[in-house]
Chains A and B, each alone.
Chain A
């Protein structure tokens, strides 16, 4: 119970800081607007081709965007927590006490997930108002749905650990200006907007390396009954999740050891 209490303290102080909350809300609105514009452009440009592959393109894209958004939230939360904790001197305030920084990281994840849910709601409303969305989701296989959720969480936590470890190991504390661009490229490549079959073969080769591709594909199968090779997707995702979580855990452990040796999570003390 004490950890919940600690998480709530960090959540409270973050939401008390209305500048941060307001800027997050504005960012969400801009991101949703961009998603709507891209959807509209693709839909208008490839209407005929898309209708040959997909029965309900609006639902297809909505699932892709929602799943991708949640995946990225899980993936980036740890790095984001370290980055914010470092630059806002939160670590300077909490690391001097015998208190673990885990509650802070979890609070950051919860906060991001809350914003993700809000973003999802705004996205659904905008799709409903602008494109006449009709929600037609049925869970085809509940066990598979649970398995995919577990595997995708493990995979994203693995990726998140790798990314977070670079914060300390490569001193990449400023983040990357290319990060948003790369996010967008990965979003496109993983098939959030367009089915993989419509992409050129050489681009598809990159998509096959991305765990996001398999996760989005499997969720579309579970919720929309989209046609994919379920067994192949699942096998690849299992291999990727195991590899990423092992690599992530090892690197993050090394990073924490390095941080303790160099006090590199502290900015001013």
Chain B
């Protein structure tokens, strides 16, 4: 039985709904007056629930995926788990350290790579200078470096760029450089928030290899990895949690997916036309079944739709009849087995209904 490294129960977090206009623009240095008024009026604001009683457990050396649409609360959850943000309610511990009382100690065991971590680099400094700075920041915190800068850049395939200024690197290279933060210093837990954002397929594959082979296997680290696309992380993770509207709505493992595959089939069709028009027509054809746009192809008038249907609900000939009846011009139509992306959509859409 593997050791539990993260245990959180009923974590909730609310943020103020409407941020005020910035009064400094009007008042200049006199905006401290507004600060006092603001402090007095604190309780009269409306709040939005970002996390709603979230509970989760992560085990030693596990790669746990968290998937959800934008605004699901993934980043807020990561901030709480890394000791940057306090929860309003709930409790939990990271390697036995209390989420609130020991938030500074938590930072010693958790490393977080944010959504746009590459923006935290000094653009006018070289890759080496930036990494030296990060190394020192860690050293101050008592986290000793486990790899040299040269070795880290070798792993990331960026060694020849060592003396180049960060501003000259492509966004993909910068994103890879962000991962260097995890490679330089060892922490038992790593939180990767949307690490594949803005990367091409090759870079995604390369990064996945680093996460799987270096961070997970070599470093023996527990990794929590978030993404809004299930396909990015389905082959990386042992378990995947689905989040929507601040809640964890499901935990996926291979067994559940198999059950889903037994019950449902997917009809994939590529169509020419205007998205909203075609979607409406498809919804009329398929009634209560879930229809969603899987991908858009250049110039955005070629759309691949996927329909989640209960098995044997339709025959192909019925489908073709209905498509021609509604005058839908398709490039291809195919019946497929469901993938995690379909399961994810199914859970989200069912939750919305």
**Chain A residues in the interface with B (C-beta under 8 A):** 2, 5-6, 9, 13, 16-20, 88-90, 92-99, 162-163, 165-166, 169-179, 181-182, 251, 254-255, 260-263, 266-269
In the complex, are the beta carbons of A179 and B28 less than 8 A apart? yes
Answer yes or no: B124 CB below 8 A from chain A CBs. Answer: yes
Q: A171-B19, A177-B25, A178-B28 are in contact. Are A98 and B105 (CB under 8 A)?
A: yes
B-chain residues with CB within 8 Å of residue A97 when the two chains form the complex: 107, 137-138, 140-141, 143
Q: From A6, A255, A269, give the contact of B140 (CB < 8 A).
A: A6
A-B contact pairs, 10 of them (CB 8 A): A2-B140, A9-B136, A93-B133, A99-B140, A166-B35, A170-B20, A182-B28, A268-B120, A269-B84, A269-B114
Q: A171-B19, A176-B24 are in contact. Are A99 and B86 (CB under 8 A)?
A: no
Answer yes or no: B129 CB below 8 A from chain A CBs. Answer: yes
Q: How far is the CA of A263 from the CA of B79 in the complex (A)?
A: 8
In the complex, are the beta carbons of B141 and A98 less than 8 A apart? yes
In the complex, are the beta carbons of B124 and A176 less than 8 A apart? no
Q: A6-B140, A90-B120, A170-B24 are in contact. List 19 more A-B contacts (CB 8 A).
A: A5-B140, A17-B124, A89-B120, A92-B120, A97-B140, A98-B108, A98-B141, A166-B24, A169-B35, A176-B24, A177-B25, A182-B29, A255-B35, A260-B86, A263-B85, A269-B75, A269-B84, A269-B117, A269-B193
- Count of A-B contacts judged by CB separation below 8 Å: 140
Q: How far is the CA of A16 from the CA of B166 in the complex (A)?
A: 14
Q: From B82, B124, B141, B143, give the contact of A19 (CB < 8 A).
A: B124
In the complex, are the beta carbons of B35 and A162 less than 8 A apart? yes
Q: How far is the CA of A178 from the CA of B29 in the complex (A)?
A: 8
In the complex, are the beta carbons of B39 and A254 less than 8 A apart? yes
**Chain B residues in the interface with A (C-beta under 8 A):** 15-16, 19-20, 22-25, 27-29, 31-32, 34-36, 38-39, 75, 79, 82-86, 88, 104-105, 107-108, 111-112, 114-117, 119-122, 124-125, 129, 133-134, 136-138, 140-143, 193
Q: State the 6 A-B residue pairs at the shortest beta-carbon distance, nearest first.
A: A172-B24, A269-B114, A178-B28, A98-B107, A268-B116, A176-B28
In the complex, are the beta carbons of A268 and B114 less than 8 A apart? yes
Residue of B nearest to A14 (CB): B122
Q: How far is the CA of A254 from the CA of B82 in the complex (A)?
A: 22
Residue of B nearest to A266 (CB): B84
How close is B270's CB to chain A, nearest CB, in angstroms? 36
Residue of B nearest to A251 (CB): B35
Q: A13-B133, A251-B36 are in contact. Are A96 and B22 (CB under 8 A)?
A: no
Q: How far is the CA of A20 from the CA of B35 in the complex (A)?
A: 30
Q: From B35, B36, B119, B143, give the contact of A268 (CB < 8 A).
A: B119
In the complex, are the beta carbons of B25 and A176 less than 8 A apart? yes
How close is B221's CB to chain A, nearest CB, in angstroms? 16
In the complex, are the beta carbons of A166 and B31 less than 8 A apart? yes
B-chain residues with CB within 8 Å of residue A99 when the two chains form the complex: 137, 140-141
B-chain residues with CB within 8 Å of residue A2 when the two chains form the complex: 140
B-chain residues with CB within 8 Å of residue A96 when the two chains form the complex: 82, 84, 107, 111-112
In the complex, are the beta carbons of B19 and A18 less than 8 A apart? no
In the complex, are the beta carbons of B84 and A263 less than 8 A apart? yes
How close is A68's CB to chain B, nearest CB, in angstroms? 14
In the complex, are the beta carbons of A251 and B39 less than 8 A apart? yes
Q: How far is the CA of A155 from the CA of B15 in the complex (A)?
A: 34
A-chain residues with CB within 8 Å of residue B34 when the two chains form the complex: 166, 170
In the complex, are the beta carbons of A13 and B122 less than 8 A apart? yes
In the complex, are the beta carbons of B24 and A175 less than 8 A apart? yes
B-chain residues with CB within 8 Å of residue A92 when the two chains form the complex: 114, 117, 119-120
In the complex, are the beta carbons of A93 and B25 less than 8 A apart? no
In the complex, are the beta carbons of B108 and A174 less than 8 A apart? no
A-chain residues with CB within 8 Å of residue B32 when the two chains form the complex: 162-163, 165-166, 251
In the complex, are the beta carbons of A13 and B125 less than 8 A apart? yes
Q: How far is the CA of A202 from the CA of B234 in the complex (A)?
A: 72
Q: From B39, B75, B84, give the contact of A95 (CB < 8 A).
A: B84
